[in-house]
Structure 1
Amino acid sequence: MDKNWKHLTAVESHPDIVSGAWVFRGTRVPVAALFENLRDGATIDQFLEWFPGVHRQDVEAVLDYEVAILSVPAAA
């Protein structure tokens, strides 16, 4: 499976929004913020509280997508 965020409807990237970083659709919240907060020990519920424009189903879609990517064996 090729990692191609543009097919994931939960996120979007536009050059004029957060310098083209991937953000949660309809927000200016970078997807990277989710992973940074989880890395630092935050829960999904905390992340959603801190970033009220982000929806749980979008967070779950991003995490599910990453799990799917990581579940595919690397090409030899």
Structure 2
Amino acid sequence: MNNQLIQSSPEILSGTPVFFGTRVPIKTLIDYLEAGDSLNEFLDDFPTVTHEQAVAFLNLALTSLLQNYESAA
């Protein structure tokens, strides 16, 4: 699933990780959320990213964070 969620290629934004099939960096979603913007605002501004992609990325990030936390405990 991850290969359908995040893409990194030297031909797309010099290898910056982007949402699969788009030119939207993953970090842009994090930047929006950090600034207090909603997921819907992000999706409105970047219509090439689907709601499903954004939610799947956030779930992946949460799972990774929890796994790292549990392994450190």
TM-score (norm 1): 0.85
Could you say which residue in structure 2 is the equivalent of 1:12?
A: 7
Could you say which residue in structure 1 is the equivalent of 2:71?
A: 74
Query: What's the C-alpha RMSD, in Å, of the aligned pairs?
Result: 1.3
Aligned equivalents of 2:61 and 2:47: distance in 1?
A: 22
Alignment size in residue pairs? 70
* AA matched with 2:36: G
Higher helix share: 2
Unaligned runs of 5+ residues in structure 2 are none
TM-score (norm 2): 0.88
Structure 1 stretches of 4+ with a deviation exceeding 2 A read: none
Aligned equivalents of 2:52 and 2:40: distance in 1?
A: 12
Unaligned runs of 5+ residues in structure 1 are 1-6
1:57 to 30, 49, 52: 52
By relative contact order (CA 8 Å, sep 6+), the higher-ranking structure is: 1
- Confirm or deny that 1:28 pairs with 2:17: no
Aligned equivalents of 2:72 and 2:32: distance in 1?
A: 30
